[in-house]
Amino acid sequence: MVLSVIILVLCLIGFASIHSLMASLRFKRLAMQVLGSKGEVLYMPLFSLVAILTISPLPYLFYKNPGEILYIVPSPWRWVMVIGQLIAGIITLRAFTDAPQRFKIRAQLSAPNTTEAGSLNIRGIYRWVRDPFTFSTLIIMLLTPFMTTNLLIIYIVTTIYLYFGSRHWETRLVAQFGDEYKEYQKHVHRIIPTLRGYQ
């Protein structure tokens, strides 16, 4: 029991460490130097591939050692929760399409108020929440219709990582958009959606 928890936590820490390193501006600058003109096209697929490979042992480890069952939500409520999880997944997809300028590597490495950095252009889901990825992931975890001891530990560690990762993400956005993003921060909450959308 204790060993399985330690292995799960170490797996998560390993993923978080590699993911954070590759998300850092310093690493992206180095990658762009190495990859050259192909960097803009190759970096995000490579980043996603590494993320999948480093997190892939976790489902297997959890399957082998799920831990003691804490609760299972009965029907029909479990399906209500699953629908809520699907909606949260749609929010994640919208987050990519509503702000494509935030995910271009050259834009991320550019100074504020330059053509390369682009404009913040608040629209879609970003009018209500600054970090829809963290928000939707927390919703998916919260609406899981069953819970075991090991899954609870995974969710606790993931929540801690999401919190600090969200703060790191915002630091990068300030570096890209400058005062424009700082002004946006005054009006829209980072993780909990703002009831009144950004105007």
Beta carbons of 60 and 85 less than 8 angstroms apart: no
Instruction: Supply the pLDDT for residue 63.
Output: 87
Measure the CA angle with vertex 85, ends 1 and 143; round to 5°: 50
Which tokens sit at 173? Answer: 């956005």
Instruction: Supply the pLDDT for residue 108.
Output: 87
Q: Distance (Å, rounded) from C-alpha 178 to C-alpha 195?
A: 25
Would you give the DSSP letter of residue 199?
-
* pLDDT, tens only, 81-108: 999 999 999 999 999 899 887 888 888 8
Segment-wise mean pLDDT, segments of 10 residues, the chain, 199 residues: 80 89 89 85 87 89 90 96 96 90 84 84 92 96 96 94 92 90 93 84
Instruction: Supply the pLDDT for residue 111.
Output: 85
Q: Distance (Å, rounded) from C-alpha 123 to C-alpha 156?
A: 31
pTM flag (> 0.85): yes
Residue 178 identity: G
Q: Distance (Å, rounded) from C-alpha 63 to C-alpha 194?
A: 37
Instruction: Supply the pLDDT for residue 126.
Output: 94
Closest CA to 192 of 134, 105, 123, 116: 134
Q: Distance (Å, rounded) from C-alpha 79 to C-alpha 65?
A: 25
Beta carbons of 184 and 130 less than 8 angstroms apart: yes
Instruction: Supply the pLDDT for residue 191.
Output: 94
